[in-house]
Structure 1
C-alpha cells in the first residue's frame, strides 16, 4: 500500500472519531457529574455567565429541557395521515434548540457568523444573549429560570402578552425548570468544595 493511501486511510479513520460530542452525559440529574464528564461545558457556561450574567444553573436547566445536553438535537418529524413525513415540527436545533430566524438574528447582532448551534460555547452564548435581552426588555431576573424559560419558549412578545397562561402544560414545564435550576444550583455549590 502506498504511503499516500495509508495516510489517507489513517486520516479518514481519525476524522470519523473526531466528530462533535452529540451524546448526552450519563447522569442528567447531577450537575457536578455533567460538568465532570464534559469540562468544556463548564468553561462555556462560565464564560456566558461572566459575559451576560446568566447563572450556570439557569443555563443548565434550560439546556436540559431543550436538548437533554444532546448537541445535534432536533424536533420530531411531523406526519400526514400518521405515516407520510412532512418535515420537522420546527427549525429548532442544537443544545439551545434555537430557531433558524432567532439564531440568525443572534449571529448578525453579535457578528458571530461562524457560530454553531451544536457547539456548547456558541449555544450557551446564544442563550445568554437571549436571556440578557429578556431581562432588559421584560424585566425578568436572569436568575429566574422559570420566567426566563417562558420568555425563551414563547418569545418576548408572547411572554409580554402572557400567552403561556393558556398552556397549563407549559406552566408545568417552566415550574419543573425552576425546580431543576435550584437543584443544579445546590449541587454546584457542593461540588465546588
Structure 2
C-alpha cells in the first residue's frame, strides 16, 4: 500500500460513503481499513464481537453517516424538524448519546464511524451488565437497543411482531458476519507499514 493509500486510513473513521458490499464483513473491512482498525480497537476494549454492532449498525442506518429519521411538517408543507433525534451511523438519540459522552469522557460525533462503534459497544456491554443479555446475542441486544433498557425489561417488544422479525434478521446477519470474519481475519491483519502508520497516528 502506498503512502497516499495509508493517508486515507486516517480519514476512514470520519464520515464517508457506505461500503460497496455491506453484506460481507470481509469486504467492508478490506474497503474501509480505518473501520477495521476501529473495530479491532473497540472489540479489544469492550470485548464485544464486532459482528454484533456491525449488524445492528447496518440495520439502523445502512452505514449512512448523516441519516435522520423522517421529517415532520406543519400543515403537511413546511418542514419542521424530525420525528426523533435519532441520528448518524448508530441512530442514537440525543439523550443517550449525551449519556455516553458523559460516561466515557468523550465528545464524539454520530457521523464518525469510530465514535459510533464505541457508543454501540458501550451500550451492548451495558445491556449485558444490566439486563444479562450476552454480547453475542445480537437479536436480543437489538431489541434492547431499539426499545431501551426499560422497554426491554417491560417486554415492550412482545406486542411488536415486526420488530421481533427485524431483530431476528439482525441476529442472522451477525452470525453471517461472524462466519465471514472468521474466514478472513488472518488476511485482514495489517502488514508492517500499516501497523507503523497507525502507531504514529
Q: Same fold (TM over 0.5)?
A: yes
8 Å contact kept, 2:74–2:80 = yes
Number of matched pairs = 175
What is the match of residue 53 of structure 1? 47
2:115 to 115, 122, 126: 122
What is the match of residue 63 of structure 2? 69
1:163 aligns with 2:145: no
5+ long unaligned stretches in structure 2: 1-10, 187-201
Q: Please list the CA deviations of residues 109-148 of structure 1 after superposition, one character each: whole Å capped at 9, or x if unmatched.
A: 1111x21111111111111111111100000000000000
Change beyond 3 A, Cα 1:67–1:127: same
CA distance in 2 between counterparts of 1:32 and 1:173 reads 23
8 Å contact kept, 2:15–2:113 = no
What is the match of residue 176 of structure 2? 183
Larger Rg: 1
CA distance in 2 between counterparts of 1:22 and 1:72 reads 10
What is the match of residue 38 of structure 1? 32
TM-score (norm. length: structure 1): 0.85
What is the match of residue 23 of structure 1? 17
SS of the residue corresponding to residue 75 of structure 1 reads: coil
Kindly report the root-mean-square deviation, in angstroms, between the aligned alpha carbons of the 2 structures: 1.6
